[in-house]
Structure 1
């Protein structure tokens, strides 16, 4: 009994792998391309662990996929592999099409070929779980009900369009070929090992360095925030008991504006790592920082920025008995504390290329 996990060295994937081994001894073969956001240090605790086999490679490499499937004979594939940052998709959409669309197609084809060779009695138990996003549904107004699994797809960015395409491929491979697939669409994740280009880790890292805390537009964009540990438990539950061909929305029931999130992080840092005690100075003026909130800087809004996402998670609650264990308040406190406790990890992921990207993206 083995799982093949793709993209298992990135933020959500590495959290899933660590979470899996806290709950199970079932081996994992972890295929990851190791792009800028993939970090093997995330899984340093598994060095020498016979349950974990790491393979560097691309889901677009059909020959590699066929070899891994034939060699390890997994009972399920969990697909986290994706380009996932909206801002990067606006500047360079081709990588998103290549990985999220072409890569998913090639993965599906390799898995379908493998699945068709399984003994007839084993095929119904096999699963292909595809991890997707709430962004495929588009944007909500302040009064709209949350996204349900029956909402039509209205992606608005190159990233969300590429993920929508991958979702459609997964659905089609079930309906046309009978491949036992499951799709999960999650809201905004946060937690340990999050690459600091996304909002929460970026704010933590910049605040501790006295750098501007960039907030797009008026900061009133609303997201449903999901602690990554809760996301991992939901995926385990869907893999265990989900109905093939079905989609399950996963959310944290924690709608917050971006500005609320930034201010919450600042308040926690004021409590846990006070700027005066750390000698933090404003990187622009050189003045001492008294409270991190004074570093908030409003920047030009992202093109086509969706205003609100929210998830209706009643289906997964009703059918599978899953619900988030963390509130936003408990999850964000754990997250801030993790970054304070792991400064070496943060320092090592902040390469020159990362710093150049932040300066380009936020013009600060």
Structure 2
């Protein structure tokens, strides 16, 4: 049967909202249509070239740049005639006037096809966007992107037919000017699977992770810019229907991936040492917290990784607006909880993506809304300096 999506999204404001950046069970990437332009307040990806130069994207197809003191809205262009669109991830490998200063991926609704979404890849040069439709295949969504260089990036996600059926992992490479479909050896089409995360070590390789409704359930692939190698991820003990949902590589011989199972409190992490994957000690969340879900991880070095997500949700909640943003720090041996304050009295919060340009400095993005409600959704950003988070939004 198809991969199930039971997201921990706080605000599913409409049937068109893209469920991305938030995990449960096997499916981290979205298979829903792209959101209408009116859907706002859900930040899904962030990338920083420096501490005062970041770009964040949203599920509603908008973007904002960070100059070190404030966020500024950035106008986004979608392909001609698009009925709407949204982003799942962003990467900023370039510098100055390089050809691919930033690349954002997601999906858009093409003219005449309001019922489905096709993959989208936008290049940002610091001044203007160059939009590209990656494929005409429906329904296709790209959840994450990372880059080997300013002119070599890899986007991953999943696709299925407009009639429904099984979803299948997809990948596209970017050469600074055009996108090319990649064809890794994924599980058969009748075994639902999805790519959820990717992290590239500049000049070396990209690590791709995901999940499948088959055995083994965890997907892990290595791409060197030309060829694919399937790896064997470590199966976490006692977690049903696990999937890897985000990955970050601090070096060519060290990557950390995080994921979740189908039930509440089924988060886990594992580390790649250049040859094998192994499950880490449990991710640490604040004392007394319940129902954790991990959504993203970023490593500034092999001994400094930050995972983010949400804790204290109502069990099984998939959009009622409960829980609060949370974070945990990996030092190469163990996880330590890092306290994150609630954004305001009576408001729920969630971090959906994080990036750490250097040790002891990270930027996380997500959303906040009225507690126990999908109403009043606003964009949420958090800045980790040392061991303290500062929230904005």
Structure number with greater Rg is 1
Structure with the larger helix share: 1
TM over 0.5: no
TM-score, normalised to structure 2, is: 0.30
